[in-house]
Amino acid sequence: GLARLYAKHGLNKDALVLKLPQLCTRPPDRRTWDLLKSMAEYTPAAVEQLLQSYIDEAGPGQFTHVPQITEVMCKLPFGADGSASNRALKLLQRFGAQVTPDRPEDLKIIVEDLRAFMSSNIPPTVSEQFPRTIESLLLAYCEALTAQHTADAWEMPGDLMKRAFNGQPPVVLLEQLQRSCLRLPLTSEKTLWVVFRHLSPDSGVALVRTWLLQNDAAADVDRMERCARHFHMAKGEHAAALDLLRWAESRGLQVPAESARKWRELYFTVLRATAEERATTMKRGGAFTSGGLDMATPAVHDGGCGTNVVSSIATEIPLRNITLTERGMLEEEMSVPSDAAPCDPGQSAASDGSAGEGSTVDEESEARARLDAAVKRRELLAEMAIKAETAAREASEEEAIFSSAVRGEEEGRLQEEEEGIEAPPSCAAPVTPDPQLQAERAKAQQLQAERAERQLLEELAAAERAEREQKEGKDADAARKKAKKKVKKERRAVVEDAA
């Protein structure tokens, strides 16, 4: 206010200029910066002289006051070197050249101050220089990162990239950060996960896979378990972890013998979690009409390690698009019999007339028939479960309607009784039931009876169908045995005639 009065009345401001250094503190506090901003318009030469002294004191580890310096600089009148924003840009570029990964906080201060100028109203020719300066500063910082630097030093560029470029940093920055991460040894795995948190899920997954291949670390089951956990959290689904394990299998992973069981347990746990996760997002009966629950992941389609085979897991739903390794694992863990290879009984009889081979064919046919019967039983049980759930839902809705109707009737009757008690006996009228409520009650009872009858008929039809299928299976077995005996008898007759 005093400076404004001096300027208004045209007084000599030499006293103010001489007093200004005494009012400023070292190191400068908030009051000092407020004073400099208010005096910049009236005594620019004195403010600029003080500002230069603060700039000279700034350096690595001493960049705390840089945002205040540039703010006061923008209050000064334009000089011969261009606009205030251009002068601030040159100053920040000079400070940015002194930033190193040893002091990550310096990088944060400079980049945040550059971002502040990006959102201000400055000429386009100058404003486009600020994001370029941020990019070059982060690029040089990432190139200087080594395994000896702290986790904070590694985390800082990824965090600043997302904020400075609205979640879409330039490709050259991401590539440089990934190249720096690939220099990390196996002992710096925690540092890798620090960087992983600030990358997009796809970029992070690609980085970790490349790092595992480069360090030949995919055979470490504990490390793969940690990778699977991080992938699951990054993408929000167990399929990301399953895709990692399939990718490792497709690259010819050689797990040590002592870790083979642990690897299979990890694989089965992830496979089961993925199946349960996907089963909850689809209707239970839909898995059978579409050929089973789809377990496809990018590794199956891109890596070529998948086969369109069907098996089942604890969800009692067939699975498709699983690998041969997973098929064998399921058969071992869940005791699911494997599908027998196709075999022609007539061809076997022509090539070899021994009874032993015929017996093997018979056993394979019976095993296949048992497997088909088990699948049909599961389909039948699933259909019955869906129907029962639908019937229960309808029953609960009808019961709620009926209960509300009965409650309304009871409330009306009680109200009428209370009114009857208050009125004289000669005036009391007989209570007659409401015809509409009686009709609703009769309709609800009829619907309940029809539903019970329909459910009973469906259960009887399902039982008859299962019994008929079982009988047809027995008739087919009897016909095969009869044909087999006939063939044996004819062979024996031919042998006797030849003798």
DSSP secondary structure string, 53-84? HHHHH--TT--TTHHHHHHHHTTSPPBTTB-H
Question: What is the phi-psi region of residue 429: left when phi exceeds 0, alpha when psi lies from -120 to 50, beta otherwise?
Answer: beta
pLDDT value of position 436: 66
pLDDT value of position 384: 61
The three-state secondary structure class of 309 is strand
pLDDT value of position 469: 76
Residues facing 308 on adjacent strands? 322
Dihedral sign for Cα 153, 154, 158, 161, please: positive
The three-state secondary structure class of 20 is helix
Average pLDDT, the chain: 76
In the predicted structure, residue 266 carries a pLDDT above the cut 60: yes
- The first and second tokens of residue 484, run together, are 């087999």
Closest CA to 55 of 88, 25, 31: 88
Specify the range with the lowest mean pLDDT, choosing from 245-254, 360-369, 402-411, 451-460.
Answer: 360-369
What is the mean predicted confidence (pLDDT) over 360-378? 57
Contact 462, 384 (CB under 8 A): yes
Within 8 A by CB and 6+ apart from 49, the residues are: none
Cα separations in angstroms, 447 against 242, 388, 398:
49, 16, 8
Specify the range with the lowest mean pLDDT, choosing from 66-80, 172-186, 257-271.
Answer: 66-80
Overall residue count recorded for the chain in this entry:
499
How far the first Cα of the chain sits from its last, in Å, is 134
Report which residue type is found at 353: G
In the predicted structure, residue 230 carries a pLDDT above the cut 90: yes
pLDDT bin (cut points 50, 70, 90) of residue 2 is: low
pLDDT value of position 182: 93
More confident residue, 170 or 122: 170
How confident is the model over 62-72, as pLDDT tens digits?
A: 899 999 999 88
pLDDT bin (cut points 50, 70, 90) of residue 481 is: confident
pLDDT value of position 424: 42
pLDDT bin (cut points 50, 70, 90) of residue 395 is: low
pTM: 0.59
More confident residue, 224 or 252: 224
pLDDT value of position 385: 56
pLDDT value of position 256: 85
pLDDT value of position 126: 81
Distance CA(431)–CA(421), nearest Å, equals 13
Give the distance between the most distant pair of CA atoms in the chain: 144
How confident is the model over 167-221, as pLDDT tens digits?
A: 888 999 999 999 999 999 999 999 999 999 999 899 999 999 999 999 888 888 9
Contact 301, 335 (CB under 8 A): no
Residue 235: burial class (beta carbons within 10 Å; 0-12, 13-18, 19+) = middle
